Amino acid sequence: MDDQLTAPSTVWALGDYHRFAKQMVWSVGPELVEACEIGSGQNVLDVAAGTGNVAIRAAEAGANVVASDLTPESLAAGEREARERGVDIEWVVADAQALPFADGEFDAVTSAFGAMFAPDHQAVADELLRVCRPGGAIGMANFTPEGGVGEFFGVFAPYLPSAPQGAQPPVLWGDEEHVRKLFGDGVASLELTHTWLVERSPGGPREYCDFYKETFGPAVAAYSGEPDRVAKLDHDFLAFATRMNRGEDEGPSEYHYEYLLVKARKS
């Protein structure tokens, strides 16, 4: 597979991430805004913001919001959505491991299923802490290793290039002990709550798989391989979707994925 095709910012630009986010994960944005008690006049940074799942909701709550992400295409889609909803957000291309913002610049720093995908977890945690003011809130939603998403990515792993040397698995961000170690004494308080994201598809498992193939960047990249490998992936993905479906046999499909809701206060 072409290395350029599989660069992180390029992978997430494949498909239609905004369509994916609005159908599958859009419900998590308001939860993080509420957990971080984001309100009028606060300065908020949403890291690895995608198309604005959290950022748009924070702006609707009256905050002054900056949304950062590696993928310009996602930011452009988010900017269009924000404009349609009548909120003003600053959109900045940035790496979660090296944020271009001043120390203590924000009252709240958030990330929903975004910063967890950066290879260096400690660098990300250090940056989230650095740009947050003392006493400010840090909120994250991170998939857990055991809650279904680990198995989901296990389906695609053989069909994608290996992670960079030293990269840590994204789902480690959903492990309580790992999160405690990452933030260490940089936080005065840390609340960790296990909860569930429910993804729904109007049709059965096949339609669920087709939706991912059309919209979700890593899936699109995996399906760009040789025909025999694509056929094997399609078989594996459909088997996973069939096995994990909690919906009615002949009706809409439903998938439950556990995530860790992280709410911290900076020391």
The CATH number for 42's domain is 3.40.50.150
Domain membership flag for residue 214: no
User: Within a domain: residue 220?
Assistant: no
CA distances from 231 to 66, 77, 227 (A): 42, 31, 6
Whether residue 209 lies inside any domain: the answer is: no
| CB neighbours of residue 83 within 10 Å | 11
Model confidence, pTM: 0.95
* Tally of domains within the chain: 1
Q: Look at residue 174 and tell me if it is in a domain.
A: yes
Tell me, what's the pLDDT at 7?
Answer: 57
Q: Are 166 and 119 in contact (CB under 8 A)?
A: yes
Q: Note whether residue 31 is domain-resident.
A: yes
Section 196-222 average pLDDT: 96
Query: In the Cβ-directed half-sphere of 142, how many Cα atoms lie within 13 Å?
Result: 28
**Does 24 reside within a domain?**
yes
Is the CA virtual torsion 197, 202, 206, 207 positive or negative?
negative
In a domain, 239, yes or no: no
Query: 126 and 99 in contact (C-beta within 8 Å)?
Result: no
- Percentage of residues in the chain with pLDDT exceeding 90? 92
pLDDT value, residue 167: 93
Between the alpha carbon of residue 114 and those of residues 105, 109, 219, the distances in Å are: 20, 12, 16
Residue 164's domain comprises 8-200+256-266
Ranges 16-25, 177-186, 243-252: which has the least confidence: 243-252
Q: What is the rounded average pLDDT for all residues in the chain? A: 95
CA distances from 266 to 59, 96, 126, 133, 189 (A): 22, 18, 11, 7, 7
Cα separation, 70 vs 151, whole angstroms = 25
pLDDT of 40 higher than 70: yes
How far apart (Å, rounded) are the C-alpha atoms in residues 184 and 126? 10
Quote the CA–CA distance of 52 and 58 in Å, as a whole number: 9
What is the pLDDT confidence band of residue 128, given thresholds at 50, 70 and 90?
very high
Is residue 140 in a domain? yes
Sign, CA torsion 114/212/53/49: positive
